[in-house]
Amino acid sequence: MTALAKYDAMCRAIDAAHKVDEVKDIRDKAIALQHYARQAQNTDAERRAAQIRLRAERKAGQLLAQTQKSKGTRGQLKGRRSSGGWNIRPPEKTHTLGELGITKDQSSQWQQLGKMRQDEFDVAIGTADVPTTERFLADAKPPRPGPKVGKDSLWLWGRLLDFERDGLLVKRPADLIATMTDPMKGDVHRLAPKVATWLKQIGATNK
C-alpha cells in the first residue's frame, strides 16, 4: 500500500469510527508513523501523519462531546414492553477518560478541534507545517470577515498540492500516459490542453 493510499484509508477509518477508543487507536498509530518519519527525515510523511493525528483527535473530541451530552440518561433503564411486562436492558457502559488513556487536557483540546467548522479545519490543516495540537489550535484563527472559501476553490487548491506532494511535477507526462488504456489516453489528450489553457489564466491574473 502506498503512503497516499494508507493516508486515505486512515481518513476513511476515522470518518467511519463511532467509538472514542477506535479513533484513539488510529491517533496512536499516526503518532508512531510521525515518529518514524521524523527519524527518517521524511518531512512530507511526517506532515501527513500529523494531519491524520489531528483528524483523529478532532473526531475523538466530537465523540467525547456527544458522550458528555448523553450522561444525563446514563442511569436510566431502557427497554420495550412485551406481553409479560417490560424487558429491561441496562445502558451501555461509558468508559472514563482514564480507561481510554486520555487526559483532561487532551479531552479539552480535542473537543476544541471538534467545534471547528469543517471548512475552517480543512484550511488550517492544509496550511500547517508539522503541528502539535496546541500550536494548531493557537494558529487556527477564526476566519476573517469576507468571502467564504468555496468548495470548488478548496478542491482546486488540494489537487494542485497533490501534484507537488505525489512527485508528479518531476515525472515525464509521456511516461505516465504510456501506462494508460486507450480510452484513458483519449480523455487525457482531449482534456489536458483545455485544462492547461484554463490554468494559464491563474498565472495571468496572479490572483
Q: Which amino acid is at 141?
A: K
Indicate whether 199 belongs to any domain: no
Please give the residue range of the domain that contains residue 34. Answer: 1-69+98-144
In 3-state terms, what secondary structure has residue 90?
coil
- In the chain, DSSP assigns E strands to 78-82, 85-89
pLDDT, tens digit, 9 for 90 and up, residues 108-163: 999 999 998 888 888 888 776 766 888 888 877 665 666 677 888 888 888 888 88
**What's the structural domain count of the chain?**
1
- For residue 195, being part of any structural domain is answered with no
Q: Is residue 15 part of a domain?
A: yes
Taking the C-alpha atoms of residue 166 and residue 73, their distance in angstroms, rounded to an integer, is 48
Is residue 176 situated within a structural domain?
no
Residue that the C-alpha cell 456527544 belongs to: 66
CB 105 within 8 A of CB 136: no
11: CB partners within 8 A, 6+ apart: 52, 55
pLDDT of residue 193: 93
pTM above 0.75, yes or no: no
The verdict on residue 165 lying in a domain is no
DSSP 2: -
Place of cell 484563527: 141
